[in-house]
Structure 1
Amino acid sequence: MVYTPFYFLLFVFHFPFHTFAQNNIAVGSTLTATDSTKPWLSPSGDFTFGFSQIEGKNQFLLCIWYANINERTIVWHANTTSPVPQGSTLRLDADFGLILRDPQGNRLWVTDGFVDKVAYGFLNDTGKFVLSRNDSEVLWDTFAHPTDTLLPTQEMEIGTMLISQRSEANFSLGRFYLRMPDNGNLVLSSKMVPTNSDYDADYYNSQTSDPSNSTNSGYKVIFSEKGSVSILKRNNATQELTPQSVSSVTENYLRLTLNFDGVLTLYRYPKGSAGNLSWIPLWSQPDNICTKITGDKGSGACGYNSVCSIDSNQRPSCNCPRGYSLFDPSDQYGNCKPNYVQTCEEPRKGSSEELFSLIEITDTDWPLSDFEQINPSNKDDCRTACLNDCLCAVAIFRSNSCWKKKFPLSNGRIDTSLDATAFLKVGKGDAPPLTPDPWREFPERKKDQGNLIIAGSTLLGSSVFVNVLLLTALLYGFFFIYKKKIKAFSPNNLSNLQYFSYQCLAEATNQFEQEIGRGAFGIVYKGEMPVGWGNIVAVKKLLDRVAHDTDKEFKTEVNVIGQTHHKNLVRLLGYCDEGQHRLLVYEYMKNGTLATFLFNDLKPCWRQRTKIALGIAHGLTYLHEECSTQIIHCDIKPQNILLDDYYTARISDFGLAKLLMMNQSRTNTYIRGTIGYFAPEWFRNNQVTVKVDVYSFGKLLMEIIACRRSLQGEEICAANIVALADWFIHCFQEKRMVLLVEDDAEALNDMEKLERFVMTAIWCIQEEPSSRPTMRKVSRMLEGTVEVHVPPVPYPLTSITSHASLE
């Protein structure tokens, strides 16, 4: 027993030190994107954080991967738009967390969403990288910002999602999503790249929504430390997704990944394995993605004109049918094109029998491309009907019926249960090539030039001098007509916006049937664009007085709006400028306005509200300082803040105030804005600046904090009611800010942030514009990266004798 302390000390020093201390990464630490830079390791050495070189390229990805597996398996990555060049750097900064810059110093990516200073970073043994304060409280972590993979101990709440990669070697955003909407179902869906607009149907649904009892609905996905994946319901019940007999996490690495082909798979890899093993699939959904994607928009599991088949691991394989080839030979899952030219335009050099043949294929179908059904029919009639129809790409014969289908062919799949025969049209090998008529797109130009050529031929028989004069006139006429025709084919084209005809938008909105909002600029209708767009849109029909008779100015301002691009702005997709009709086509935000979100019986959580406030501040900063042309919104209010699928704040109606004021005098008689959000300078002969938006944001921030309107409609004329701003100032002066959030436990436990938000709001509503901070400074005040000093009282308070009614 005498030697016990000695053996104990020997054991302690022999045991790996990382079991007793974290490998903290100090502020100021950097990594450089080179093949020789050592990455940051987790204590056990299982996970690595750093730059991984893209195979065969001089580019790198900032990511987390397994350190002890020969096959490089990435479980998280930053900068999801593209890899970064060699020489890029990552720095751990106290104010901003992780900052990724290219070799020229341009910022490519940064962590955000926290307000306290970072003390250190740490990659733990679960594969999670965290940024922490001095007291070890986590400010930001990769588990809360997943890419395409979940790891044991990780959770995915409502509003979080996994997005597949574009392809096995391309880490940009793909077209498959795993998400949990508000109804509590965990769903897999496909989206249109690059707009990321939802297609109609989900191809997997966990069935964890209960409309009759919301407490029985799903709340979050939990990947337990034991390795099972389940859905936690609001009543604390769980629904298991994976089998109970999941492999042990102590003996295996486990990951749940949404693969680039849309299949969600749980994998295991034995720890300590020698040799080049592969990941072993344990569970996946859906069981057959080829047949489970059934929506009438999009290409299906594979590209257009392709055929999907399922392998033994329930993963799709995509192949072009005979007579077709890939548009992009490097993308097996992409679109296919026919190796022949099929056109209904004359002249055709040969009959259909001479130009085309039909290949007979069994158990293959493209179910969503029908344009005609022949019933009854037989095989021979079906074959002949497709061969002689210039629109027919393939015909499917089944149950004495013939379905003719046209390009593009979507949702192609092999299905042995069909009992069907497909007749696929292909070009004959000896068929002469079909040359498209070069004048077909511009028939008027062909006619005009043809007439000029005939005239020129006649004139050449006259004297040389006359011919020279007339030839000069001929050339002038040619270029005049050419310029006129070219202009006629793009009359309203703006550089980066889609032009829509009025008829197209009328059809998309079902003759403007479903109104979803209205305001000072016009009425908004819900619309569904034609096939090819595959998305729901919001169509704003502008009032007649908006930029009336100012065609050039209208297009200029719409072009400015169309050039904006920020995650906290509603994106303008297109426009219509046809006679008296002027319409704007926007992204559709299905979660409605911030007003609806804030002012209802169920108060949103404090974390959501502060995130929304930051998002609005960032969006306004972009409009004021970062976009190519400065934009003053002039009407910031909760009705003009929309919420996307994941409750991210998106500012709408920016830039429209200038359109409305084009033919108006800039005097105090013409006020833009809404009662309760007016800046004082609107009532004076002062020039309007970006500070009017700062003032309105201050009023809006108060509403976000308290979940109460700045001024109720019935309060406008009620002298004995205290406005929300007065109440805020009074509560701040009396140090009774708890009254502003009432019984909101989350906010009450975050008093430092609450005080910072309240003081920022009061700074924003200062009487003099020069006393208000810029929106960039407001953003930093809210984030806590700059100190917020005690604000002065912005103006004499109205009567506070009835403030108790608001308490």
Structure 2
Amino acid sequence: MLDSGNFVIYDSNFNVIWETFDNPTDTIMAGQELHSGSKLVSSASETNHSSGKFQLSMQTDGNLVLYPVASPDRPEDSYYSSGTYGDGYLSLYLDDKGWLYLHQGNVASNLTSGYRNGTALVYRATLGVDGIFRLYSHDFELNTEQELKKFPEVTDPCAVKGACGMNSYCTSANGQVVCSCLPGFDYLDANRTSNGCRRNFTASGCYSNDDNTTYMSTLDNVAWMDGSYADSLSVTSDEACSDACLSDCKCDAALFKDNTCSKQVFPLRYGIRDDSTTTFIKLANISAGGWSVINSRPESPSVAPVIIIRRKFSVKISIVSAAIIACIISSLAALIFFFYRYRAGRYGRLWRNKEPALVDEIAPRPFSYHELREATDGFKEKLGKGAFGTVFKGTLPRGQRVIAVKRLEKVVDEGEREFRTEMRTIGRTHHKNLVRLLGFCDEGTNRLLVYEYMSNGSLADLIFKADGQPGWDERVKIALDIARGIHYLHEDCETRIIHCDIKPQNILMDDNWTAKISDFGLAKLLMPSQTRTFTGIRGTRGYLAPEWHKNAPITVKADVYSFGIVLLELVCCRKNMELEAEEDAIILLDCVHNCFMDGELEKLVPDEVDMTELNRLVKLGLCCTHSEPGSRPSMKNVVMMLEGNADISVPPPPGFSS
């Protein structure tokens, strides 16, 4: 650690291997430069120093700009700029006298004036968790710190774009940011209200008020960044603006100001108080049918007044009341006792008979090999075969429950205890978009898994057949089902799981055509403290992320890549590789990217679809298949993008096809 504050790592010959001055986080010290193309990123909070919500970018065009991290870095997303666009400055520099300036060689543009210097005085410039870039001086003799300058110079914290997340608007109270959701929206995280909001009802595709299922809600005195998808309308009243949005199936919201109406689609961004703007939000009329509420809860439930009524009761009334209450309590106690005895006896009989209908609600139960051989009639009806085993259809003797039994082949003998531990880990994954593991067998050399039976086959059967392919809305719903299942494996289950083999053949459809992820035979389990692992190549050609071939650490982003390929297959209803296709269309990923760049997306789909929705899903698929794992979105963000609660950035060209 040098006196300048630079932490340096040397090799045995005292050559510099790494130093913090070349890898800034949220701060630059005196003597440190922020080079062209580099950026500072704020901390998540004062105590959590992982990456936060704001960034200071030293752009290659010579401009120093502050943006929200989650924005596409357009001029309208910035909330501070040095105004030096095109002036050729290559870096931001802080000297030991407190001068903060942009420079190229001997040419400089001062952002601050100089301050006094001394051996006990040190300067630093830090991007705060509130998005403000501040210059500080530290006097070690007096043990004091002073704020000298801040960028931008604002008094209202809501002037910082991104202080509140998408679909929420910012107000300030005593200098603190207060984020509020749009009508019909709930916080993404009630404990972190600045993260944004999402709709508390499900809606997909284009929807208008043809069947009275929607209405407009009014939000006064709030303005947003204008992201209108159509030319602004000149209207005579706010009611006309509201009606224009209500009758337009693409319109999610409308902004009315100075007799001008601009139609918007979600998500809305950078909401702030503005006395001259009225916002209209399209909401679902739940009572009209066709909509479902999700996570609905009041934002600020009111507290009912407590009314105390005093009455005088006579002694006789009190005695009679006490007697009645005592009789009621005695009767309830007797009912509870006999009910408990009945249930305890019934559960005991179920357990003695090994009734799986009870056991599989608690944890995967062990089966004997004899039981499963009888259940499958000697492994007679084959449902399918994969790299690690064959799946057979069976029926349990009690309750006549249909099951799928997977007989594992060519598996490493891990030992009975390790195998059971892994089965119980997988069995604790409970999600509506995951195929449920009901039980297992580890008798001798036999290793078998028992799953719930999926009656409608796999996604591959559904989308790769010549006729009867699902419609666009069904394909979008299936994509969201798959994304939610993978997100659960990555972030929400007790033990984080990388699936390693996401493909249409491992996505099964239940009786209600809900997509469920299956086949954890290739999954690599992660302990809670792990984020990546080295392992041999697993999975299926065509769905493998590039890092599998580079002997690089495998993270959850490998599953994101595989999901991206599946999403493009789902959108286009074709396999990721078709040798019979024309030369430039053999590999789906390359074909999709070419059509995207040429503006010819209609060539990709077998049916007529909403081109805006098609463009959105294609962009998401290309982002998920980025050659660099760190540039792919997390599955949490993928779910938000599919739900329409987050923007999708412009995808890069494909760098690798597996």
Give the TM-score normalised by structure 2.
0.48
> Which has the larger Rg?
1
Give the TM-score normalised by structure 1.
0.40
